Structure 1
Amino acid sequence: MKRPIAIDLFSGCGGMSLGLEASGFDVIVAVEFDAIHALIHHLNFPYTHTICQDINHLKTDYLKGILQNKGIDEVDLIAGGPPCQGFSLMGKRQLDDPRNSLVFEYVRVIRDLQPKYFIFENVPGIAVGNHKQFLEELINEFESLGYHIAKPIQILDASLFGAPQKRKRLILMGSRHDMQPVNYPLETGEYNDVENTINDLSNIPAFIGKNESIDANKLDYSGFRRNFAPSPQGIYRLCHDRQRDNFVYNHVGSNHTEKSKQRFQNTHQGEVEKTSRFLKLSPTGLCNTLRAGTARDKGAYTAARPIHYNQPRCITVREAGRLHTFPDWFLFHETIWHGFREIGNAVIPMLAKAIGDEIIKVLEIDINQLEVRKLEKIDLEFMAYNMDKASNYWNVSNDIIPKRKRLEMILTDKLMNLEVFFM
């Protein structure tokens, strides 16, 4: 049976793409502005036509051409989470605020391609206080295009769908007027704690300054960790075969000072370390919301990362990936900064799958009949590309994303309290 077709706008490294593929979709096109994140998406989704471009300059005729060349007449789903930064004074139309141009571009693509369904995800902050005006205008815009919006609008907490991390996102679900309306997924009540997610990695020292591999045979993929196995299993059983080797990458950590390690060791589980203000994870609790850090024009700061519950260090990129429900075959950039930005900006795949499953239901797709393919192997060296090399790969200017204000920073053991609004 042919898999339904999805497009992922503002795709990042591919959290939403992964969840949708796990539901049974083929993500045919992905659009991402950041050259490194786009390359990591390409590394993980080699069958997808990944476009590294500012969506403000992306013509929908170009997207239509890609679809036509692939023999696709209609798009089943468009998903995306455009950043929205501008909240104008009351009485003004906030959708027209230039700072919200990316939201407008998302609406433009929906208008021009007319998918059967769409998913709009964003920070919960746009649903509170005076910011409600923006959300109301956005809903009215979608309804004027002929889409039914599932109501009441919901803010979904990924931890209530089985993710071992407390992370809330506002979700809009739209159904074209001629399609069966889709509803929000029901909370599963499944609870997965930190220890059951990353415990088997605890005995393997974090790699400092190098992205070495771990033989997957040394890890334990029983219970909830079955979902993270090197070949797609569990919630990812419908994902295509990436033909990875039997090694796990990205177990990369920071080079902490001995003084910091002692402070981490002396901090009780579930409490905040007083100097760094980092949270030390509780093995039986949930991970706090993982943040993305700042872009390079704002100093390229790594976001504050939680302290491991039984190791005197912050969690590694791979441990963060698991706490975000990425499987071990999913690859990130080899550096801590890019790797954590990719994870912190991503939709939790387990939540994306729960949402995607609802659309699969109303499309009346029999998932047992869906094809699972072997994908072409991709060069793992993409994990090591810097911005110059990634930009050259995509043939885009390295100046599109502003450069760092400081060329080099010592980030270890410093709190970077730079959380984005309501993330």
Structure 2
Amino acid sequence: MNQRPLAIDLFAGCGGMSLGLEAAGFDVVAAVEIDPVHALVHEVNFPYGVTFCRDIRRLEWPEMRHAIEQRGYSTAEIDLLTGGPPCQGFSVMGKRQLDDPRNQLIFEYVRLLREIQPKYFIFENVQGLTGQRHQGMLKQLCQALGEAGYHVLPPQVLNGADYGAPQRRKRLILLGYRRDVPPVAYPAPSHGPDRKPYVTVHEAIADLEPIPVFTDIDRGIVPPEPLGTFGRSLNEHFRHCHSRQLETNFLWGHLGSQHQPAIQARFQATPPGKKEAISRLFKLDAQGLSNTLRAGTPTDKGSFTAPRPIHYQLPRCISIREAARLHTFPDWFQFHRKVWHGFREIGNAVLPLLAKKIAQEIIHTLEIQPDLLPQKTIYITQTDALWYPLGQASQYWEIPWHLVPRRRRPPSP
């Protein structure tokens, strides 16, 4: 094939879904993300596609199509549309808000699906959308997807741990296919009882344990040698991605927080698999799964940092890179160089490995052989942008300053 199948990722964040799509064999030719910092991180990691830092309600398909064609891609047929609209109003981890205006963005996804008419779609959201209080919303969504011209598979809640992630993370997935193309199915679980054993936290991050974390500035580290089993397996899982070349061979993101001695003592005394009594932070169990990594609140909601797990052996919270491993990002994927932004990007992201396994079902249905797809070398040269604060990232996207949400720093405890 001269061209990979084409995918568009809506509500893309830093690129967890995009990464999984590329690993399956797609080119992510367009992505939409409203947060200027996260959109810039996506742009750094996927420079071959078009990233729109835009409110999706103000974006139309003709503009997207023109921008994609300017990059040299034919848009006669888009193979896949994906997206996970903001889900805070449905999350089981927070207060459910039926009238949250962000929930209406679900139907902006449907609008663009109707306009673009891709062969397949993947809709991703929190499992809370399947709750009794939201059955009407889910039914209305499935009806709208069907009216857009698609067969819609019954919703399924997939747990990332069942697909090779060292983390319990349940997400609602909706798959659909256009009426003139072959049907697709959900991927079968690969891990769990009577299958492969779950991937443990220790397998995922033990090779990083001897390397001290940075607590001020991310200076990059020499990759661990030898690379752990899980790190090597991620390289294999993502081998169909385009090759990324960085300016240096450093591994970035081994950055964490400085804890006072009294806090370190409390962390050390907390048994693995339990919450520390005062901070209520969960301490990882080396031989278990990570709890669900969360994103914290955005700038306009107070900029509260999500509760980060405590390392199973060391008296500190995990680093950005350790969180990325638990989230199945390969080590070459780049995040913002600040702890708050980096953890928000990971906590908001779709598990790339789960996204890949879902997208692989579509690749197989299209009768595409991933080993025969073209691969190119992508030079990641825009790494200075990974340090940009919100204001500078907004300037990059030419967003007027008065439209940028201000960060309200929470009071110190």
The TM-score with structure 2 as length reference comes to: 0.93
Instruction: Give CA deviations for 1:107-149 in whole Å, capped at 9, x if unaligned.
Output: 1100000000000000111111120100000000111111001
2:120–2:176 contact (8 Å) kept in structure 1:
yes
Q: What aligned pairs does 1:383-402 form with structure 2 within 5 A after superposition?
A: 383-402=386-405
2:8–2:80 contact (8 Å) kept in structure 1:
yes
Given residue 240 of structure 2, which amino acid in structure 1 is its aligned partner? Answer: L
Cα deviation, residue 275, structure 1: 1.0
Q: Counterpart of 2:230?
A: 224
**Which consecutive unaligned segments of at least 5 residues does structure 2 have?**
91-96
1:100 corresponds to 2:72: no
Secondary structure at the aligned position of 2:184 is classed as coil
Cα deviation, residue 293, structure 1: 0.3
Given residue 119 of structure 2, which amino acid in structure 1 is its aligned partner? Answer: K
Work out the percentage of aligned pairs sharing the same amino acid: 51
Secondary structure at the aligned position of 2:378 is classed as coil
Q: Counterpart of 2:177?
A: 175
Q: Structure 2 CA distance, aligned partners of 1:98 and 1:36? A: 22
1:9 corresponds to 2:15: no
- Give the number of equivalent residue pairs: 398
Instruction: Give CA deviations for 1:265-311 in whole Å, capped at 9, x if unaligned.
Output: 11111111111111110000000000000112222111101100000
1:67–1:73 contact (8 Å) kept in structure 2:
no
Q: Counterpart of 1:90?
A: none
Cα deviation, residue 320, structure 1: 0.3
Given residue 6 of structure 2, which amino acid in structure 1 is its aligned partner? Answer: I
Q: Counterpart of 2:94?
A: none
Cα deviation, residue 100, structure 1: 2.9
Cα deviation, residue 101, structure 1: 2.8
The TM-score with structure 1 as length reference comes to: 0.91
Q: Structure 2 CA distance, aligned partners of 1:32 and 1:300? A: 18
Tell me whether 397-406 or 366-375 shows the greater mean CA deviation.
397-406
Q: Counterpart of 1:128?
A: 131
2:45–2:380 contact (8 Å) kept in structure 1:
no
* Match of residue 356, structure 1, among 348, 356, 359: 359
Two-structure CA RMSD over aligned residues (Å):
1.8
Cα deviation, residue 326, structure 1: 0.5
Q: Counterpart of 1:335?
A: 338
Given residue 289 of structure 2, which amino acid in structure 1 is its aligned partner? Answer: L
1:22–1:239 contact (8 Å) kept in structure 2:
yes
2:10–2:84 contact (8 Å) kept in structure 1:
yes
1:156–1:171 contact (8 Å) kept in structure 2:
yes
Secondary structure at the aligned position of 1:243 is classed as strand
1:227–1:327 contact (8 Å) kept in structure 2:
no
Q: Counterpart of 1:285?
A: 288
1:237 corresponds to 2:239: yes
Q: Counterpart of 1:74?
A: 77
Q: Which runs of at least 4 in structure 1 moved beyond 4 Å after TM superposition?
A: 84-87, 94-99
Cα deviation, residue 312, structure 1: 0.3
Q: Counterpart of 1:154?
A: 156
Q: Counterpart of 1:294?
A: 297
Q: Counterpart of 1:421?
A: none
Q: Structure 2 CA distance, aligned partners of 1:51 and 1:15? A: 16
* Match of residue 217, structure 2, among 207, 210, 222: 210
Distance 1:398 1:359, change over 3 A: farther
**Which consecutive unaligned segments of at least 5 residues does structure 1 have?**
88-93, 415-423
Q: Structure 1 CA distance, aligned partners of 2:398 and 2:330? A: 30
Distance 1:25 1:242, change over 3 A: same
